[in-house]
Amino acid sequence: MLKILKYSFYDLMRSRWSYVYFAFYLLLGIVLLFLNNDLSKAVITLMNVIIVLVPLIGTIFGVMYYYNSKEFTELLLAQPLKRSSIFLGQYLGVALSLSMSLILGLGIPFVFYGLFESSAIWNFSLLIITGTFLTLIFTALAFNIALSNENKIKGFGYAILLWLFLAIIYDGLFLMTLVMFEDYPLDKLSLVGTMLNPIDLSRTLILLKLDISALLGYTGAVFKQFFGTNLGLIVSFIMLTIWVVLPVLRIVFKSKRKDF
Amino acid sequence: MVTIQNLYKNFGKNAVLKGVDLSIKDGGIFAVLGPNGSGKTTLIKSILGMVIPNKGKISVLGENIKKSSGYRHKIDYLPQIANFPSNLKVKELIKMIKDLRGNTSNDEHLIELFRLEPFLNKKLGNLSGGTKQKVNIVLTFMFDSPLIVLDEPTTGLDPISLIRLKDLIQKEKSNGKTILITSHIMSFVEEVSDEIVFLLEGQIYFKGTIQDLKTKTNQPDFEHAIASILN
């Protein structure tokens, strides 16, 4: 698996898109620091961008890489390699190179700005960790969609729909439920609802760490009680890990049964 | 060498293999023939484990291939359409496959044989179909495996390369290897193969030597014998 990972990783590192992605984050980091002139504020702005953009890029790159490397995959399948190592190697190659672009692209400007002497370091680390989790999750989901759809256009369509659903539509539905049942106590329900969507979960996690939960009103207080504690943090990370593990397991399962 | 028992495969509603029984003994050249869509490639891909059969058992060198991948160390496979990652150089591709399968020094001799030196530093995406096929042949023959599977090996080759390929196949045969070929070029099949397997609508219609086929169909030459089956 490590050999496949190595080749996929090099393959991506040589492609223009990894640099574009890296350069984008570099630029974003520099511009935000320049405009805000304050690390904490820059972290908040960055969160809003990352929460939406990282899943989108993970989804698109995952689907694109899978379809583009079809020939490479077929070549590998005839070699004495396990299917699970071929697909896991490719998945990790994509996910790790994307994560690296994110970490380095944002890390470099922030470190130069004096991140290590600032109190924002924990918030920034949390942001980077959730960003990496989101990359792992959405690349895995994208691989799942691509494995199940031979047709590229369909695959792309479903992948974008999935992103749209989790990033935007889910929130809308969630909000509508809250409005419709506003006469009932909804704190537990909204907590569960947040847990079930990795994007919402990451957003809440960062917002509450940033101590701006007052903006969220009563529910915010309940959330603060939960996510603010170590238990909440651990449960959230467990949820994010499950969101990575389940799609990865399905990649292994699905790839074993697929015809090429 | 290869034993296939009661093999079934369908893609959705399309039943491609309908109960194939085949045993291929050690040593010699076997040609798998059949009209388009008769299941030749599916059969070969099942042996390689790229297509998962719905039913049936395949064993290669006495080992059941289900849920196994190590047996592919003993197979060299030439895919039908030479599609390679287009941003890799020829040299890098050869190095990568060697890295994945284990080292060999046979590639230098083969590169020389097919005059591929000028292309080693070119990207695979920029090569012509015939040159890609030559690279494909080098990748297949550079390992010393007892079973060689060639899916349409002649595609795109110029006459000189074709002669070299035939020599190469004969050389491997004399080394005691088993070679499985599919091809639509009847003259090529007639020239190289010892035995043919004729697939028709997902089943084995005929298995035996070319002479047997001619006698059975009462036709003087091979091409007409095949045509008479299809009529």
Q: What string of DSSP letters covers A192-215?
A: HHHHT-HHHHHHHHHHHHTT-GGG
Q: How confident is the model at residue A98 (pLDDT cuts 50, 70, 90)?
A: very high
pLDDT at residue A244 is higher than 90: yes
Q: pLDDT, tens digit, for every residue of B1-33?
A: 888 988 899 888 888 888 888 888 888 899 998
Which chain A residue has its CA at the smallest distance from B44's CA? A78
Q: Tell me whether residues A74 and B52 touch, CB distance under 8 A.
A: no
What DSSP character marks residue A1? -
Q: pLDDT, tens digit, for every residue of B83-104?
A: 787 778 899 888 888 888 887 8
pLDDT at residue A74 is higher than 90: no
- The three-state secondary structure class of A138 is helix
Q: How confident is the model at residue A163 (pLDDT cuts 50, 70, 90)?
A: very high
When CB atoms are compared, the residue of A81, A258, A259 closest to B100 is: A81
Is the CB of residue A15 less than 8 Å away from at least one CB of chain B?
A: yes
Which chain B residue has its CA at the smallest distance from A65's CA? B85
Provide DSSP, chain B. -EEEEEEEEEETTEEEEEEEEEEE-SSEEEEEE-STTSSHHHHHHHHHTSS--SEEEEEETTEE-TT--GGGGGEEEE-SS----TTSBHHHHHHHHHHHH---SHHHHHHHHTT-GGGTTSBGGGS-HHHHHHHHHHHHHTS--SEEEEESTTTT--HHHHHHHHHHHHHHHHTT-EEEEE-S-HHHHHHH-SEEEEEETTEEEEEE-HHHHHHHHT-SSHHHHHHHHH-
| pLDDT at residue B85, as a whole number | 77
Contact between residue A88 and residue A1 where contact means Cβ atoms under 8 Å apart: yes
| pLDDT at residue A258, as a whole number | 87
Which chain B residue has its CA at the smallest distance from A77's CA? B50
- Alpha-carbon span B68 to B47, nearest angstrom: 12
Mean per-residue pLDDT, A12-25:
86
Burial B164-191 (b: 16+ CB within 10 A, else e): bbeebbeebbeeebbbbbbbeebebbbe
pLDDT at residue A238 is higher than 70: yes
Is the CB of residue A2 less than 8 Å away from at least one CB of chain B?
A: no
Q: Tell me whether residues B79 and A75 touch, CB distance under 8 A.
A: yes
Q: Tell me whether residues B84 and A72 touch, CB distance under 8 A.
A: yes
Residue type, B166: K
| pLDDT at residue A217, as a whole number | 59
pLDDT at residue B132 is higher than 80: yes
Highest mean pLDDT among A92-101, B9-18, B208-217: A92-101
Residue A176: phi and psi, rounded to 5, are -65, -40
Is the CB of residue A200 less than 8 Å away from at least one CB of chain B?
A: no
Is the CB of residue A150 less than 8 Å away from at least one CB of chain B?
A: no
> What homologous superfamily is domain B2-230 in, according to CATH?
P-loop containing nucleotide triphosphate hydrolases (3.40.50.300)
Is the CB of residue A104 less than 8 Å away from at least one CB of chain B?
A: no
Half-sphere exposure of residue B131: CA atoms within 13 angstroms, side-chain side: 15
N-terminal to C-terminal alpha carbon distance within chain B:
33
Q: Tell me whether residues B85 and A75 touch, CB distance under 8 A.
A: yes
Q: What is the mean pLDDT of chain B?
A: 87
- B contact set with A (CB within 8 A): 11, 45, 48-52, 69-73, 75, 77, 79, 83-88, 96-97, 99-101
Mutation site for B-interface testing, chosen from A77, A86, A90 by largest number of B Cβ within 10 Å: A77
Quote ipTM for the complex. 0.83
Pick from B96, B92, B98, B137: nearest CA to B114: B137
- Alpha-carbon span B114 to B122, nearest angstrom: 16
Instruction: Tell me how many degrees the CA angle B140-B145-B150 measures, rounded to the nearest 5.
Output: 40
Determine what percent of chain B is predicted with pLDDT higher than 70: 99
Q: Tell me whether residues A3 and B69 touch, CB distance under 8 A.
A: no
What distance in Å separates residue B213's CA from the closest CA in chain A?
Answer: 32
Q: pLDDT, tens digit, for every residue of A134-158?
A: 999 999 999 999 999 989 999 999 9
| pLDDT at residue A62, as a whole number | 93
Q: Tell me whether residues A79 and B72 touch, CB distance under 8 A.
A: yes
Q: pLDDT, tens digit, for every residue of A23-69?
A: 999 999 889 888 888 877 788 888 888 889 999 999 999 999 999 88
> What does the domain layout of chain B look like in residue ranges?
2-230
Q: Tell me whether residues B97 and A79 touch, CB distance under 8 A.
A: yes
When CB atoms are compared, the residue of B11, B51, B100 closest to A79 is: B100
| pLDDT at residue A38, as a whole number | 80
> What does the domain layout of chain A look like in residue ranges?
2-256
Q: Tell me whether residues B100 and A76 touch, CB distance under 8 A.
A: yes
When CB atoms are compared, the residue of B11, B51, B73 closest to A80 is: B73
Q: Tell me whether residues B52 and A258 touch, CB distance under 8 A.
A: yes
| pLDDT at residue B31, as a whole number | 92
Q: How confident is the model at residue A212 (pLDDT cuts 50, 70, 90)?
A: low
pLDDT at residue A215 is higher than 70: no
Mutation site for B-interface testing, chosen from A12, A15, A72 by largest number of B Cβ within 10 Å: A72
What distance in Å separates residue A11's CA from the closest CA in chain B?
Answer: 8
| Strands B203-208 and B195-200, bridge-based pairing | antiparallel
Q: Tell me whether residues B79 and A260 touch, CB distance under 8 A.
A: no
| pLDDT at residue A216, as a whole number | 59
- Alpha-carbon span A256 to A253, nearest angstrom: 6
Q: Tell me whether residues A79 and B45 touch, CB distance under 8 A.
A: no
Please state the pTM of the whole predicted model: 0.87
- Alpha-carbon span B94 to B98, nearest angstrom: 6
| Strands B55-60 and B63-64, bridge-based pairing | antiparallel
Is the CB of residue A71 less than 8 Å away from at least one CB of chain B?
A: yes
Mutation site for A-interface testing, chosen from B7, B43, B46, B50 by largest number of A Cβ within 10 Å: B50
- Alpha-carbon span B48 to B26, nearest angstrom: 17
What distance in Å separates residue B144's CA from the closest CA in chain A?
Answer: 14
pLDDT at residue A213 is higher than 60: no
